Chain A
Amino acid sequence: MHRPIETIGRLVGVGVLVLALMLSLRSPTADVSRAPRALSNDAVADSTGRGAALELSRVLLDRGQRDGARGADATDSIGQSVHLTLQRIPSAALRATLAAASLAGLPLDWTDSTAARGLAVSATAAADPQGGTIARARAQNTQPLVLRDAASTLDSVADASRGLAVSGARLSARIEARQGRSRAAVDVPAQALLRRLLLFARPGWEAKFVTAALEERGWKVDGRLLIGRNAFVTTGMPSGADTTRYAAVIVLDSGVVPAEPLSRFVRQGGGVVLGGDALRDAALRTLHPASPDGERPMVPGALLTDAPRRGLDAWELRPQRNAVVLVQESHGTHADPTVVVRRIASGRVLASAYRETWRWRMEGPVDGLEAHGAWWSALVSAVAFVPQRDTRVLRNDRPDSARGIPSVARFDSAIAAGARAAQRSPYPGDAAPYADLVARLGAPVALPTVRPTPATSPTVWWRASWLWFVVAAVALVTEWTSRRVRGAA
């Protein structure tokens, strides 16, 4: 009885030992079919510039060979990720290469070991007939931030996280943000393509001087002024409110414009400025950014002070929940909102609390005329619809008539300048390489603590050293058991 058991025990022990011997003699690289598993989660250490390109090429070639050797489908290796530890921001060409590899299905992630900081700069054309550019910069941390153009420093702040914005009529061709060693730059855009304004009001000094103020600032204004029952006086050539013709609509009185076309105009992306009695127009209630709770009388004599708008009659505004207060007036312990804006669909609607702003121009200080014009132009600019320039036109070298493009595009030097700038830089992201890298590969990840981590993978169980210990232990226990059984016999 004991002998068969002993024999069986010995056979098992010897078999296990033979198996262990075979496995230990077998080289992992000898079995090509198992290679992809071994290379899962490749680490391309210290990989910036040519080093990263070479490492990445090597990994991709290895995978290709392995996949080819086993006749595997290419997608078999897609699931394996590649990790890059970047010591500095890769060149534009390498960023493009990495992005191409990522787009081709190779999961890439990266750890930020650079000294660069997340830094963003933008330049947008102001919606102002007098031109100008609005440059904004912002960073992730609180280090000093400097914004400059090719000529000189424009502005700087000690805390970059709060951002920095500069408006200037004549910013030179390229704007750059600097923070420590990090830099980001962007070209100054072409001037915004602005359309006309449409004014709805009753004939009066407010309508007259709002029109005059805007025209003096370069806007083109069409007016439709209600002068009697269904009788209008027109200025310019007014037509229906539509973003193909108008950038914004200004309404200064109640009952002068139907609500539906105005709502449609806003949904198209157009801007609306409501002033005076238009804020009391019940038909326009769905558009109102704020409702007038009462009248705030003017402060006598304030028109000739440093705060001339206090000398104007105004509404006390109560902003709607989704509205934003752009301007407010402080009165001791409290502040009254005077300009409130609200987004509706693609458009914006602005409410101005002041009722007779023409007095600011006529009865205000010496610079009241210019200040009144700048004020109204700024209100309109805040909501004006600005169409995007068609980039297909930018690269149009053929005669316009051949492509059915309006001939005016040919003579627009700003467009031509933009086209030349676009052709100069094959890598547009080079202006802000860090942001470009994030855009292409995603945000950086933390440095992996264990690389690679095959122990948890069921496909490589046989490579775990603790398993060999168990095997040896089982063999020894089996041998010991066989001996104990033999003695008992």
Chain B
Amino acid sequence: MHSQTISLFRFLMLGILSKRLLVLLAIMVLGAVLSGSFINELAIINGAAIQTAFVADFLRYSLALLTLLMIATSVAEDYESRQFERLLTMPLARWQYIVAQTLVIACLCFLLNLPVALLVSLYGDAAVGFYWAAALWLELFLLGVLGLLAILSLEKIPQAVMFSLAIYLLAKFSGLISLMLTESVKLSEGSVSSRVIEFIFGAILYVIPGSRTFAQNDVFFASQDLIAMLASQFASVSIYALFLLAVCLIDFYRKEFNL
């Protein structure tokens, strides 16, 4: 059973690697290096730290988009080419496909993070470079699983990518949205509608990733307890990723395929 899952993982991974992944990665790294150098030239002080932090964040958001697109394209192609119907005629359980895709996401994030670890360590401290690579791996893995859930459910690349990005950005901007809602309650002198909206958003926050699930860019400017931060992020990502995978399994088992 394990060998079947591993074979499926290899097959899916080869499909992802054949999508000019390394070329895209090289372009992103080049873009990060060039724009980081530009920022360094502009900065009067702390140029190196600002450059490292900028390169790290530039790569974070470009790789997030790349991960989402790769996962969504891979699963969408399986839908289009009726791969699921073929796979399900074989002695394969549906959960094995989800496990194989999870392994693909983990490996893809690892591959994407290799140049990040190298680049950030070169620009700054090796310990911070390791932290950033590990934290970014966790963040990208979570986003990849979210993308997997989105494409399994929505079946179309644009919708799946938009949905995943919306959740990702909602989580990132949750602080700002909460602030706006609190201010709106104050401005409307505690009106019921404002309070209801604030309550609904508070409830939504329970089912989207919290701020701890993301890599912390402030490590480039002040020494922090990296291990503790990583441990906290690992716990947070583990719980949320397992929750997402459970939803993926439920959704995938509910789907009807014409065998």
Task: Verify that A and B bind, or say they do not.
Answer: no
- Write the residues of chain B forming the contact surface with A, with a CB cutoff of 8 angstroms: none
Q: Please report A residues at the B interface, Cβ cutoff 8 Å.
A: none
